[in-house]
Amino acid sequence: MAGELNGRRVAILAADGVERVELEQPRQALEDAGARTDVLSIHDGEIAARNNDLEDAGTFGVERLVGAASVGEYDALLLPGGTVNPDKLRMEPTAVAFVRDFVQSGKPVASICHGPWNFVEADVARGRRLTSFPSIRTDLRNAGAEVVDEEVVTDGNITTSRSPDDLPAFCARIVQEFARAPQTAGVGGAS
C-alpha cells in the first residue's frame, strides 16, 4: 500500500471517547500509504481514547481545532467511532458543519462503528447505503439511510464499516477510495 496516498492530507475528526483502534489502525494504514493525517477536535490539547468504550486507552494529541479547519485543506475525512466520541461531536455545530460540508463536497469520507452517527446530525444519511454498529442502525434508518449488515460499504463518497472486527477490510478500502479521489489539498495547505 506504499505511496498511493503520497501528498494527500486526511482530516481525522474525533473527540473524547474515541475508540482507540478505530483511530489508530486506519491512521496507520493511511500514513503507510503516504498520507499526512491531522487529528481535528472540538477542543485543543489531547482527546481521551477508550477500549470497548469502558477502559481508558490513553490519549491522542489534537493537531487542529475543527472550527479552524476547512474542507479545502483536506482530501479526505475519517470519522472513527466509540460511543461517546460521535455523541460529543454531534453537539458541536462546527463539527456538524465540517462533516456536512465534507460529504457535500464529494470528497471521500470514511466512518466506522458508531462514527456514522455524525451523518445523522449532519443530515447527509438520507438516500445513502450505510453500515454501522448495530445499536445506531435505527437512527440511520430514521434519517433516511438504507442500512445493511456488511463488513464494508461504499456508497458514492462515503465508506462505512460495522466494528473493530472489520478494520482490516475497512483500512484496505479507505486507502483504495482515498487514492481514487482527485488530490485537491496537500502541498501548500495549512499545517
Q: What tens digit of pLDDT does each residue of 50-63 get? A: 999 999 999 999 99
- Read off the pLDDT of each residue in 1-13 and give the average, rounded to a whole number: 91
How far is residue 124's CA from residue 140's CA, in Å, rounded to a whole number? 10
The residue ranking higher by pLDDT, 106 or 183, is: 106
Which pLDDT score, from 0 to 100, does residue 185 have? Answer: 65
Q: What stretches of 62-185 show up as alpha helix (H) in DSSP?
A: 84-90, 93-105, 117-121, 137-142, 167-180
| CB contact at 8 A, 150 and 2 | no
Of 73, 13, 29, 19, the residue nearest 178 (C-alpha):
29
Taking Cα atoms as reference points, which of 106, 109, 113 lies closest to residue 162? Answer: 113
The residues assigned a catalytic role are 113
- pLDDT-derived band of residue 188, with 50, 70 and 90 as boundaries? very low
Cα–Cα distance, 21 to 18 (Å, whole number): 9
Distance CA 12, CA 22 (A): 11
pTM of whole model > 0.85?
Answer: yes
What are the residue ranges spanned by the domains of the chain? 9-180
158 confidence band (pLDDT: 50, 70, 90): very high
pLDDT value of residue 184: 81
The class of domain 9-180 in CATH terms is alpha beta
For 118-145, write each residue's pLDDT tens digit: 999 999 999 999 999 999 999 999 999 9
In this prediction, residue 183 carries a pLDDT of 87
The residue among 97 and 2 whose pLDDT is bigger is 97
Strand partners, 49: 18
C-alpha cell at 32: 503507510
On the CB side of 164, how many CA atoms lie within 13 Å of its CA? Answer: 15
Per-residue confidence band for 2, with pLDDT thresholds at 50, 70 and 90: confident
